[in-house]
Structure 1
Amino acid sequence: MAASWWAAMTQADRSGEAGFTLLEMLVALAVFSIAALALLNLNTVTVTNAGAVQERTLGQIVARNIAVEALTDPIPPAQGTETGEEANGGRAWRWTRVVGDSPESRILQIDIAVADEAGQPAGALTVFRAAPL
């Protein structure tokens, strides 16, 4: 009985139940394309930022290593500027350590700056240590 009812409907009566129109499909495809492009852009930004964070993290680790050496050496570092290179994370890092007076005369201020192989700043740190008597 249901089959005969369906067969009795004219083509005009069934046109609303035939599926999506071409215009509806194009609009849906456009919306999906915009969403996909936004996700691809987000992925690119995420990968770029992850590389920058890794660079700064390794640079900061190098700066901390230099600071630990300056703080744990029994003899305080001499005042002035010293530069060097250190390997860490399979890469070479250039560092600069500037030792000078702090506002308190009994304390030395040690500023450490680290740069990557291209010379881009990758980390910085300031520590304080007791001055020699």
Structure 2
Amino acid sequence: MARRTHSETGFTLLEMLVALAVFSIAALALLNLETVTVTNTSQIADRTVGQIVARNIAVETLTDPVPPSIGAVSGEENNGGRTWQWTRTTAPSPESRILQIEIAVVDETGRRAADLTIFRFAAQ
């Protein structure tokens, strides 16, 4: 076996190619992770604002002196610089004195952003 002299020490072309391939695979994995993170952050932001819209509708429903009538009502709310569509469905609950109110919020693309269920006393 031949010994390397001082002038022959260093990396071979094959070693450099293998190192470059390993680095490339790691860089691609990090780019993929970043893409997934940005997508998830956007979805979380949409759901957060959707929940705020649903809670605003719930507060309006609970603080109104007149309880909502049985059935569905739809509307539009502007929040966070965007327009949100909401539907409030009121139904009787098993307890006759209480109404069950379902609130659903969707974004401009029609994706569901929030669902909320609340209860309030029916009219006396």
SS, match of residue 60 in structure 2: helix
1:43 to 2:39 alignment:
no
* Unmatched segments (≥5 aa) in structure 2: none
SS, match of residue 78 in structure 1: coil
Matched residue, 2:14: 23
Q: Percent identity?
A: 67
* Unmatched segments (≥5 aa) in structure 1: 1-10
Greater fraction of residues in helix = 1
1:98 to 2:89 alignment:
yes
Question: TM-score w.r.t. structure 1 length?
Answer: 0.87
SS, match of residue 58 in structure 2: helix
Query: Partners in 1 of 2:89 and 2:105 — Cα distance?
Result: 12
1:34 to 2:25 alignment:
yes
1:126 to 2:111 alignment:
no
Q: Alpha-carbon deviation of 1:17? A: 6.0
Change (3 A) 1:13 1:56: closer
Question: TM-score w.r.t. structure 2 length?
Answer: 0.93
What CA deviation, in whole Å up to 9, does each residue of 1:42-64 have, x standing for no partner? 00111111111111111111001
**One-letter code aligned to 1:101:** P
Change (3 A) 1:16 1:24: farther
Larger Rg: 1
Deviates more, 1:114-123 or 1:84-93: 114-123
Two-structure CA RMSD over aligned residues (Å): 1.7
**One-letter code aligned to 1:107:** I
1:84 to 2:72 alignment:
no
Matched residue, 1:55: 46
